[in-house]
């Protein structure tokens, strides 16, 4: 991996060759500290890449330190990781006022964008279960590193989805290694609504913080309720009156009730305020989601689908 060189150049411009290697196609995004560009690596089989720029121009010294730490944290983590649901880091370099990461270009949209474009704003149960299983797989990979890596900012905006439904975790800016013996995190970081209570400086974040965030994501996908609007408050997946409403007493409906109850119990445990009440690690979460997915597949053979979430009227109430 190309790394660490200092060079002098302006910001990337469309249709120019950046660093004598990367043909810039367009700017595809902008964030708090810089921009992201789509480019072609002319020295590696014309591979499509994303170039993430961190600009230090005009920043207050404290903010500059924060941006630098964010960049270095992302480099140190991604350079060691190799997983199908993570972007590959190919190179990183800097000039006096900017830092750059060269990574896989992921063709798609964030899970946040995908959900917002759905007519009902809610995902089908089968798709949500698949998303949950993919996220469990990559979180389990991170959590079983030595030492464990805690992502700390799992939310739909930090999950890329391709047209085939494959997911990628993006933005490792606040991820960190778990430090045995440390009482709490140095600073409180995370996104309101998705961040576990301990991420507010009350304790050190553990893999169970990512389990909480995954629970918040799954709840949002199924109910279309944004957890950032009411942090730490999650309604049931469906109104109690909706239970068995389709065909009371039928075997299929009873199976659906069992399935939704199992899913409700799992997500509620993941969202427990008390760390000790959450699953100890991501493996039992993955196992339970798989069991629910198998049950749902069997139920689908009966062509019955439960209605999750709330009606517009109930949502307003």
As to burial, measured by CB atoms within 10 angstroms (0-12 exposed, 13-18 middle, 19+ buried), residue 36 is middle
- What are the tokens at 48? 């499509």
Which of these, 246, 108, 89, 255, lies nearest to 167 by C-alpha position? 108
Active-site residue (options: 153, 171, 210, 281):
153
Which residues are 159's β-sheet partners?
A: 169
Does residue 54 sit in helix, strand or coil? strand
> What residue spans of the chain are helical by DSSP H?
61-78, 111-116, 125-143, 207-223, 251-270, 282-300, 312-316
The answer to whether residue 153 is catalytic is: yes
Which residues are 95's β-sheet partners?
A: 98
Which of these, 236, 225, 299, 306, lies nearest to 265 by C-alpha position? 236
Q: What is Dmax (Cα atoms) for the chain?
A: 73
Which residues are 41's β-sheet partners?
A: 22, 47
Cα angle: 191, vertex 259, 139; to 5 degrees = 35
Give catalytic residues, as residue numbers.
153
């Amino acid at each position: 991996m190309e790394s660490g060189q200092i060079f002098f150049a302006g910001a990337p411009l469309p249709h120019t060759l950046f660093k004598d290697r990367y043909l810039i196609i367009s700017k595809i995004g902008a964030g708090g500290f810089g921009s992201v560009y789509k480019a072609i690596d002319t020295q590696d089989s014309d591979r499509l890449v994303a170039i993430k720029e961190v600009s230090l121009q005009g920043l207050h010294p404290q903010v500059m330190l924060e941006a630098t730490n964010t960049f270095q944290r992302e480099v140190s983590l991604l350079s060691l990781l190799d997983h199908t649901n993570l972007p590959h880091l190919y190179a990183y370099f800097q000039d006096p006022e900017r830092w750059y990461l060269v990574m896989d270009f992921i063709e798609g949209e964030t899970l946040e964008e995908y959900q917002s474009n759905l007519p009902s704003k809610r995902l089908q149960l089968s798709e949500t279960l698949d998303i949950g299983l993919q996220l469990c797989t990559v979180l389990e990979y991170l959590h079983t590193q030595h030492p464990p890596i805690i992502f700390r900012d799992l939310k739909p905006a930090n999950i890329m989805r391709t047209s085939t439904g494959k997911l990628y975790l993006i933005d490792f800016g606040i991820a960190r290694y778990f430090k045995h013996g440390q009482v709490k995190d140095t600073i409180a970081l995370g996104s309101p609504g998705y961040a576990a209570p301990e991420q507010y400086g009350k304790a050190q974040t553990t893999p169970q913080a990512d389990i909480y965030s995954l629970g918040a994501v799954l709840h949002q996908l199924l109910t279309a309720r944004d957890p950032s609007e009411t942090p730490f408050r999650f309604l049931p997946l469906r109104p109690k009156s909706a239970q068995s409403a389709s065909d009371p007493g039928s075997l299929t409906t009873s199976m659906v009730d069992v399935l939704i109850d199992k899913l409700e119990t799992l997500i509620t445990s993941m969202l427990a305020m008390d760390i000790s009440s959450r699953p100890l690690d991501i493996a039992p979460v993955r196992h339970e989601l798989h069991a629910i997915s198998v049950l749902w597949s069997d139920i689908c053979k009966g062509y019955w689908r439960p209605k999750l979430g709330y009606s517009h009227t109930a949502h307003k109430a």
